[in-house]
A and B are shown apart, each in its own frame.
Chain A
Amino acid sequence: MTSTDRIEKEIVLQAPKARVWRALTNAQEFGTWFRVKFDDAFAVGKSFKGTITIPGYEHVAMEVTIERMDAEELFSYRWHPYAMDPKVDYTREPATLVEFRLAETAEGTVLRIVESGFDRLPPGRRDEAFRMNDRGWSAQLKNIERHVAS
């Protein structure tokens, strides 16, 4: 049985570790590929509110609390996944932890991502994510289309 609590990803990037580190920890650069706009620079122990830049979702806020920034090794933050309903106060709910780990190899920079803590989310949250997500996905697909076509 696979875990219902965590997601793990691994990708090899043809770029130096320093370049990947900047793309993760520089708030502007992070926002470019994650599709969110932050006004301030990330700092450990602080929370940052950003605005989603996916068309149709500009009214949605996303908040991350930076946990660790160990230079070119580990970047991590907590957040509320799919916290997309402006009417719901997610702040009292448990957050998931997202960890980015970097390693330099002969093939390039290996980036490992673990998002964990899903089992602690309230039961209704998962159903809601499906509802919100159906609309989210069509927006995402348009995004990708535009990205590939440009």
Chain B
Amino acid sequence: MSRQAVTKHLRVLSEAGLVRSNRRGRERVWDLEPKRLADAHRYLDRISRQWDDALHRLKKFVEE
């Protein structure tokens, strides 16, 4: 993966609030945002459960 590609990925994660960056001299240091990451997982868990319910209804619907 190129340096530019890494930067692009980090920028997307940063916009999502999953990482944070700080300048240290000429460097940019990236840190994980653990709370954001936990929130993100919790969010996906919820959507995941909604899919489970929808699929349960789909199953009943096509199998009856």
A-to-B contact residues, CB < 8 Å: 2, 4, 7, 9, 11, 13-15, 19-20, 23, 29, 32-35, 81-82, 111, 113, 115, 118-123, 126-127, 129-130, 133, 140, 144, 147
**Interface assignment of B62: CB less than 8 Å from any CB of chain A:** yes
Q: Is the interface of B mostly helix, strand, loop or mixed?
A: helix
Interface residues of B, count at CB 8 A: 30
Q: Which residue of B lies closest to A124 (CB)?
A: B17
CB pair A14 B44 closer than 8 Å = no
Q: Please indicate the chain A residues that have their CB under 8 angstroms from the CB of B57 in the complex.
A: 33-35, 147
Set of chain A residues within 8 Å of B58, measured between Cβ atoms:
11, 13, 23, 33-34, 111
What residues make up the interface of B, taking CB atoms closer than 8 Å to A? 12-13, 15-18, 36-37, 39-44, 46-48, 50-55, 57-63
Residues of chain B lying within 8 A (CB to CB) of residue A140? 50, 53
Residues of B near A127 (CB, < 8 A) are 39
Q: Which residues of A contact B55 (CB under 8 A)?
A: 9, 11, 111, 113
- Cα(A19)–Cα(B39), bound, Å: 38
- Given the complex of chains A and B, what is the CA–CA distance between A60 and B42 in angstroms? 23
Q: How many Å lie between the Cα of A120 and that of B54 in the bound state?
A: 24
Chain B residues with CB under 8 Å of A81's CB are 47
